[in-house]
Amino acid sequence: MSYSDSSIRVLKGLEPVKERPGMYTRTDSPTHIIQEIIDNAADEALGGYSKKISVTLHGDGSVSVEDDGRGIPVGIHPGEGVPTVEVVFTRLHAGGKFDKKSGGAYSFSGGLHGVGVSVTNALSTRLEVTVKRDGKIHKMAFAAGHVQEPLVEVGSVGVRHSGTLVRAWPDGSYFDSPKVKRAELERLLRAKAVLLPGVKVSLLDEESGEEKVWQYADGLVSYLAETLPEGEQAGYVSPIFSGERYAGITDPAGFSEGEGAAWALAWCELGGQGESYVNLIPTLLGGTHDAGLRAGVFESVKEFVTHHGLLPGKVNLQAEDVWRNVRFVLSARILDPQFQGQTKEKLSSRDALRLVSTRIKDPLDSWLNSHVEEGKKIAELAIRAAQSRQKSGKVIEKKKQSGAAVLPGKLTDCESADIARNEIFLVEGDSAGGSAKQGREREFQAILPLRGKVLNTWEVARGEIFGNNEVHDIAVALGIDPHESGAPDKVLENLRYGKVIIMADADVDGSHIQTLLLTLFFRHFPKLIEKGHVYIGQPPLYSVKVAAQGKGRPERRHYALDEAERDQILLRLAEDGVREDHIHVGRFKGLGEMNPDQLRETTMLPDTRRLLPLFLPDGAMDEAIRMFTLLMGKGEAAGRRGWMESKGDLVEADI
């Protein structure tokens, strides 16, 4: 097959979406591309410009969404030279959501990258837009993402009447099922009504003539109340605790004006569940805002329990004990939210944890202290959960105390006996080990600093590996003995930690240490990998500090794993209008350069860190042995040289 200049394709306009739709939207059904239109209408309502969102399922398979907002601008775009409404629907990374400055079109919105409705357009056989704005009605149409009918004025309307109507015919060839999921659409629209108190949201099915309307005057409270069980079987159900708090012009915690959260939550003996949203976007997989709610609730309940002396001796209350029975609805408002993926199912903004936890804690403190009897019942649920958890861990506790081995002196152990939850960090260097000790969760995180590089144990006999101090300390700290591949599960009976996390610098030396440790585990402790106990921590290589920009935009800090992620952050900041002289990019030379708070936030805290799980796919054992032998075998120098000569150009290394 020839490889020439003509082999290189350049995808323009909306072609990338058509080539790889799964990168931009869910492809199980067209529901998500319709949601993109609904989200735009909801953003108008969030800004206070719209009071009605109407969705219609038409008999020909198309869906229309209408709002009474300001209407998409129809004038000629100064940079593109075509109507602005055309830019919105035909250009990736175009939209009003980049203007985050005070007074911008959308200070708070779910849209981030300007790819939402342009994706809808690309994956539809036809899309029509009707705009009411400035006393005029304009209309245009697209086919497969291209302009089919240019923008024309089709009528007039009262100056006070404005809004946008979008009707899309999804192209079924891009989706597993060509039909919009009715139940999912109803949940979405109902949630929009809940999160936008007073806004009327409707869904009309033309074929059946059925119409559903949602409108909630008191929003989250009504919504949550509908989900709470009733009757004797439900057990204890607390009153609903609700509230909202947003940052002012000057916020003590350093957040931008308007950032914050609204919530409604209750404790239910049957068990907890919840829904969360960011700028009206449903985050089905939760994220850091959920973690912030959990952290704030835990701290508040823990203080209440301590203040009233409710905790029995030897019972240690943990966050999951308090959270286990919480049912909640959370609506966070974040100026510059960062999601995992374009479908925005999980929030990854690290500051969101602190934002939500600081908003809810004081109001919940006051609520608990003014509802003391209810607070004691809530505390009782949490204490029972803690006792149950500790009871289940006692058998493991006895096992781990057996044996004559003395734990290494440099090991900073954790307090918990819950092996499944406990973690040990194998940390490169004493300096990083010191920061890790200060930044850890002492309840369930242990730290073992490693001095220097671990011995290459690929060709070391099992009885000789303990001659190396680092290997000896790792094995004793873990509580297990070396074993062969295919050994029974009982070889892990005395394992003291559910997660073994390798935490090394994000450079070549750090990668070498990772490889040496993985060699040790693969050769002499293979059951750890087989059962999914081994992880690699992913510390950032870059820190991007954004200086404060007036009272509404305090100093921010972003972290990037590599150059590509750093460049993506810089591009996003440029699109947000941040000046270059307000941005400082720093590079961490190693873990030891991070202060304890930075190391905790980026690499250790379960809610904000990134871990890479290690596993061996079925049938990959022979190839893994071959590769380890090539890389780590003493007699394989010639093979390694040949491999590097043929594959070396593929390596991205920071030498």
- How far is CA 268 from its chain centroid? 26
Torsion over CA: 304, 310, 314, 315 (sign): negative
> Which tokens sit at 40?
């735009």
Q: Which of 640, 623, 621, 620 shows the shortest CA–CA distance to 631?
A: 640
CA Rg value for the chain: 28
Query: Residue 397: exposed, middle, or buried by beta-carbon count in 10 A (0-12, 13-18, 19+)?
Result: middle
- Amino acid code (one letter) for 623: E
DSSP 603: I
Contact 380, 373 (CB under 8 A): no
Q: Is 428 a catalytic residue?
A: yes
Q: Is 505 a catalytic residue?
A: yes
Q: Is 68 a catalytic residue?
A: no
Max alpha carbon distance in the chain (Å)?
Answer: 89
Q: Is 5 a catalytic residue?
A: no
DSSP 396: H
Of the listed 39, 428, 530, 576, which one is catalytic?
428
- How far is CA 462 from its chain centroid? 42
Strand runs labelled E in 406-481: 423-428, 445-450
Of the listed 134, 303, 374, 507, which one is catalytic?
507
Residue with tokens 């990736």: 92
Which helix or strand (DSSP H or E) is residue 133 part of? strand 124-133
Residue with tokens 């010639």: 638
Of the listed 66, 336, 505, 607, which one is catalytic?
505
Enumerate the H helices of 525-559 as residue ranges. 526-530
Of the listed 464, 509, 567, 597, which one is catalytic?
509
Which helix or strand (DSSP H or E) is residue 384 part of? helix 372-401
Q: Which of 380, 441, 435 shows the shortest CA–CA distance to 416?
A: 441
What are the residue numbers of the active site?
428, 505, 507, 509
